[in-house]
Amino acid sequence: MNETCAIIVAAGRGTRLPGDLPKQYLRLDGQALLRHSLARLTKNPSIDKARAVIHPDDLELYGEAAEGLDLLPPVFGGATRQESVLRGLESLSDLSPSKVLIHDGARPFASEALIARVAGALDAHEGAIAALPVTDTLKREDNHRVAGTVDRQGLWRAQTPQGFRFASILEAHRAADGLNLTDDAAVAEAAGMEVALVEGDEDNFKVTTPQDVLRAQRLLSPNLETRVGTGFDVHRFEAGATLYLCGVRIPHDRGLSGHSDADVGLHALTDAILGALGAGDIGEHFPPSDPRWRGAESAIFMRHAAGLVAERRGRIVNLDLTLICERPKLSPHRLAMRQSIAEILALPLERVSVKATTTERLGFTGRNEGIAAQATATLALPEGG
């Protein structure tokens, strides 16, 4: 069949990292390292079917790591990497795919493009491996002293995935049984197969040392940067209307007029959040001409803005709102207003501030014609987002 299968090799007992867990099951960003590798291959459009080769002791850990991913049932590996790959290949012989990509389970960052490059190169070559040229000068050591410099010209560091025509690599692996070679390209070479070099990726490193674990964690949690936005809004008083501020009903002889519930505090906060996102203003997201928003609770608007923050994998650091009016007196309602905002956005109370001031009877607020509100929102957003 003209299919491409993948084998993910995860049967090793890594001994270079502290702790009891085999390294492929260390948790990175809340998931087993191996899950990241499995997901990259199973979700790649170049791969039709994928199977992991695991250690018999890891069946339970594997079940958790592979949950929900589209994988063939795992097979058990052998005593060496080479033996494990051979078992994986033998297990695919009934499917007899045309191509196979073999990948280390401890390389969680093979990009979609990298996998596609290796798979694509197999149209023209019997084998193709991801690799990078050596850039450091190489020294030969003798008793912890430099015994010579090795010419690095033409030297490459082999990564995985390594791809091959399936029938050829299966035959090569059967013939190489017992040689204990450290990668599949070496097996292919031993069989005289032609193997092309495909551009690898520095991020496609093998997690081996504790430093590698830290590097992997850094790659998975992007740097956050701070964004600040401001919002300002005014609504005029209207006799007979109900006054809502920050989602709290405030007893007063007048309310505010507006298309929605006219909650001037939540409008200013919504604009501040949208401003920090560079995502326009409240009128753009909720046009006053749209009858859906007539009398609407303004919590909907603020929640929508907060949803955009979450979509960008960011979070609200804090919100600060100042309400400006002569009357009603707002200090008795400040705590309730803070609590209301914190509840609408599921934020801790200390991240929400509500203040109130007058304008010393000056201007439209001084003349009791309406209420003004100004807000700032501080967000933490992933860099480059």
CB of 231 to Mg ion, least distance (A): 9
Q: Six-digit token pair at 180?
A: 């204990």
Q: 193 vs 269, which CB is nearer to Mg ion?
A: 269
CB of 374 to Mg ion, least distance (A): 12
CB of 341 to Mg ion, least distance (A): 16
Q: 117 vs 267, which CB is nearer to Mg ion?
A: 267
CB of 270 to Mg ion, least distance (A): 9
Q: 183 vs 233, which CB is nearer to Mg ion?
A: 233
One character per residue 317-346, x = contact with Mg ion (rule: CB under 5 A): ------------------------------
CB of 50 to Mg ion, least distance (A): 53
Q: Which of 49, 267, 333, 338 binds Mg ion (CB under 5 A)?
A: 267
Q: 82 vs 340, which CB is nearer to Mg ion?
A: 340
Q: 82 vs 260, which CB is nearer to Mg ion?
A: 260
Cβ-closest residue to Mg ion? Answer: 267
Residues 54-113 that bind Mg ion (CB under 5 A): none
Residues 207-266 that bind Mg ion (CB under 5 A): 233
Q: 76 vs 364, which CB is nearer to Mg ion?
A: 364
Q: H-type helices in 18-161, by residue range? A: 33-42, 59-65, 81-91, 112-121
CB of 262 to Mg ion, least distance (A): 7
Q: 184 vs 233, which CB is nearer to Mg ion?
A: 233
Task: Tell me the site size for Mg ion, rule CB under 5 A.
Answer: 2
CB of 258 to Mg ion, least distance (A): 6
In one letter, which amino acid is 180? N
Distance between CA atoms of 298 and 276, rounded to whole angstroms?
A: 19
CB of 34 to Mg ion, least distance (A): 51
Q: 233 vs 326, which CB is nearer to Mg ion?
A: 233
Q: Which residues bind Mg ion (CB under 5 A)?
A: 233, 267
